[in-house]
Chain A
Amino acid sequence: MIAARARHWRQTRRLTVVLMALWLATGFCTVYFARELANITVFGWPLSFYMAAQGAALVCLAIIGVYAWRMRQFDRLYRHALESGA
């Protein structure tokens, strides 16, 4: 049980770190390189404007979705481990 719990927390932590890094990269790059990205146009939008107005927010939504989905898998694995262990 202790081992299963420790593994669950390790998985949670790794997922959190990966997703937070993605979140940070999206937000930071959008703003820091905005002037360079403004020269690239995607369907009418300058890329930096699109990222700041919609793109970064949609990435966030995806991050939260992936987190909820993966965490449910981790929770299930943990429950299986408990049942097979008990």
Chain B
Amino acid sequence: MSGQKSYFRRLSGYYAWFCVCFAGFLLALTVLENEGMPRLWIGHLFMFATIVLYATIGVVSRTSNVTEYYVAGRRVPALFNGMATAADWISAASFISLAGGLYLSGFDALAYIMGWTGGYCLVALLIAPYLRKFAQYTIPDYLAVRYGGGAGGRGGPVRALAVGATIIVSFVYVVAQIYAVGLIASRFTGVDFSVGIFLGLASILVCSFLGGMRGITWTQVAQYIIILVAFLIPTMWLSVKHADNPLPQVAYGSVLPKLAKREAQLAADPREHEVRARFRAQAEAYGKRLAGLPASWEQGKLEAQRRLDTARLRNVSLADVRSAERALAAYPKTADDAETLWRDQRSRLLARAQPPQPHAAPFPGATEAESNARRNNFMALVFCLMFGTAALPHILMRSYTTPSVHETRVSVFWTLFFILLIYLSIPALAVLAKYDIYTSLVGSHFSSLPTWISYWANIDKVNPLIQVIDINGDGLVQLAEIAIDGDVLVLATPEIGGLPYVISGLVAAGGLAAALSTADGLLLAISNALSHDIYYKLVDPGASTQKRVTISKLLLLAVAFIAAYAASQKPADILSLVGAAFSLAASTLFPALVLGVFWKRANHAGAIAGMAVGFLVCLYYMIRVHPMLGGRMDAAWFDIAPMSAGIFGVPAGLLAIVAASLLTAPPARGSDGLVDYIRAPE
């Protein structure tokens, strides 16, 4: 016990030093910026310094001991385990996109806040303490031992299914994280997207390759501190600016009514009406062209050609000829292409023709049925995110790393505590930034636009992150004239609030830390499942510990490169499926995990049936409804979006386990003893 205490004190000392050095680093950069250091250098310094930091922690905590490599020696104190899990959990999506999502869709996006925090109740009460009592290495480990069956009763089939689910879920997720790493690195340091990916990969690899779970735990604690500071500084600044209160979580309550008033004002403003009417007219023009297909496609093509010819003949400026050439080159190649493109553009224009929705109003809808459908979708999404959280292997894996069952329970408490430090300020940031933009940007003159708009508009020329165009030509910015991508909000907050560029660099470093820490945990979850569960347990049970760790490291390397390659292809379809990973995890793993502890009668056949049925039902619904997988939204059950397929998958999985277990023989006596052991206190 005293050993644990002195260990805790030593760790606290290290991280206190880290905080002091980090503050010093920030101060030094602020001074340097005042002395005139160029922006690009600040971006480079942040990226370089943080990556070196993570790599150093990785080198210091290198290990080749099995227990250290897989579960950090089971001696991470609850507080630090909580911090590391929080960093594991806060992905690029929650750091960068969530506030933007709230900005754009108001109440609807709160489903993510509710789902991603509420899931920890399930983790704490139903799963984590029991996994810790079981005290093995991976999630498939637990399922295989609990359910047995297969050759020699070692649970081979259950293990293989669980490994499959782990890999599918984690791989989709890790590709998205690495993609975000590339995006942030390329935006802030000007390096190429793929170079950014491989820079990030290098830091991930040094720490997880050398130190395994031990290395990533201590790196993640440092990453959490950076994430927290990076998120809170700009939010607190905005909060002081608009509410005279440095606590954004409390202060934005007073901004919300002001925002509602401003929204009502803008919804009724005649100039806004004018801009929206123009968008509606443009959308109707597209509607006419869609109705006239394929003749309208032919005609449009001829027109584009004619415009280019006349431009050439009339000897107008080179820029005009170029723009006519570009218009012809971008013209859809076939009538079918034209249909998808125009349909897309029409719906985008129609969306922009809508008046702004009140930020805090739940489920606005023209009719009762529409509003109810939104409510049901909200509930389904919350359900899937909660149960998915409780079934994500890289989070559950963390319950193995604490010294005792009690510490695991406390560690989940700290996890949620540290997550909430960030999550409670995300809605605040969205409201504060929205109020800032609605009051200071809307209504200002086009001649005096703030510099951050042109900066962010020029970063990605094909799909501009922010676009402000004077549609009605009155020289003033209307709300309807602003098109903003959700992802830009957090990254641009320091500039929106008028903070020095150092803080922008810090926010980028925070986003990078969020993506890297999650990628670390996911890669380890995948490679552990492959090396421990497939190689050691199924292929070569006689392997020496040295060999197991070496194989694990090699597999980690391989998986990391495959994931980086996949991310460098910019796979739009994978990215849109990340939300679906939660549904898949929930439907496949959650029923087997929970019934394994709480229902002794659940047996081998039940577990296999449950995992297979849960997975298949979830997959079937997605293929049936998701447009990208060839489905149609008309085929939806109760109007539920494909991303929330877990709302059908989880009950189906639970029912399948119960039915198949009751139809087959009860589990062997050994499993009864195991369940009693897991339930018993230490």
Q: Are B114 and A56 in contact (CB under 8 A)?
A: yes
Q: Which residue of A lies closest to B126 (CB)?
A: A16
Q: Mark A9-52, 1 if CB is under 8 A from B, else 0.
A: 10010001001100100011011101100100001111011101
Q: Tell which of B159-167, B572-580, B673-681 binds the partner.
A: B673-681
CA A7 to CA B25, docked complex, whole Å: 55
Q: Which residue of A lies closest to B417 (CB)?
A: A61
Whole-angstrom distance between the Cβ of A71 and the nearest chain B Cβ = 6
Is residue B379 contacting chain A, with contact meaning CB distance below 8 A? Answer: yes
Is residue B362 contacting chain A, with contact meaning CB distance below 8 A? Answer: yes
CA A71 to CA B190, docked complex, whole Å: 52
Contact residue among B382, B413, B679 (Cβ-Cβ distance under 8 Å from A31): B382
Whole-angstrom distance between the Cβ of B425 and the nearest chain A Cβ = 10
CA A64 to CA B129, docked complex, whole Å: 12
CA A30 to CA B117, docked complex, whole Å: 14
Residues of A within 8 A of B351 (CB): none
Q: Which residue of B lies closest to A72 (CB)?
A: B406
Q: Mark A54-83, 1 if CB is under 8 A from B, else 0.
A: 101110110111011001101100110000
Known: A31-B378, A34-B363. A65 touches B413 (CB 8 A): yes
Q: Are B379 and A31 in contact (CB under 8 A)?
A: yes
Chain B interface size, as a band, is 35 or more
Q: Are A8 and B680 in contact (CB under 8 A)?
A: yes
Is residue B613 contacting chain A, with contact meaning CB distance below 8 A? Answer: no
B654-682 interface with A by 8 A CB criterion: 676, 679-682
Q: Are A31 and B118 in contact (CB under 8 A)?
A: no
> Among the interface residues B114, B363, B375, B679, which one has the most CB atoms of the partner chain A within 10 A?
B114
Q: Are B110 and A53 in contact (CB under 8 A)?
A: yes
Q: Are A38 and B410 in contact (CB under 8 A)?
A: no
B319-377 interface with A by 8 A CB criterion: 360-363, 371, 375
CA A30 to CA B378, docked complex, whole Å: 11
Q: Are A54 and B427 in contact (CB under 8 A)?
A: yes
Q: List 29 A-B contacts (CB under 8 A).
A: A8-B680, A9-B680, A16-B126, A19-B125, A20-B121, A23-B121, A30-B114, A34-B362, A35-B375, A44-B256, A44-B257, A45-B253, A46-B360, A53-B110, A53-B113, A54-B424, A56-B118, A57-B114, A57-B118, A57-B420, A57-B424, A60-B118, A63-B124, A64-B416, A67-B124, A68-B409, A74-B681, A75-B406, A78-B681
**Sample of 15 further A-B pairs with CB below 8 A, known A38-B362, A64-B125, A78-B681:** A5-B680, A27-B118, A32-B379, A34-B107, A35-B362, A35-B363, A53-B424, A54-B249, A56-B118, A60-B120, A60-B121, A64-B121, A64-B124, A64-B409, A72-B409
Footprint of A on B, CB under 8 Å?
107, 110-111, 113-114, 117-118, 120-121, 124-126, 129, 249, 253-257, 360-363, 371, 375, 378-379, 382, 386, 406, 409-410, 412-413, 416-417, 420, 423-424, 427, 676, 679-682
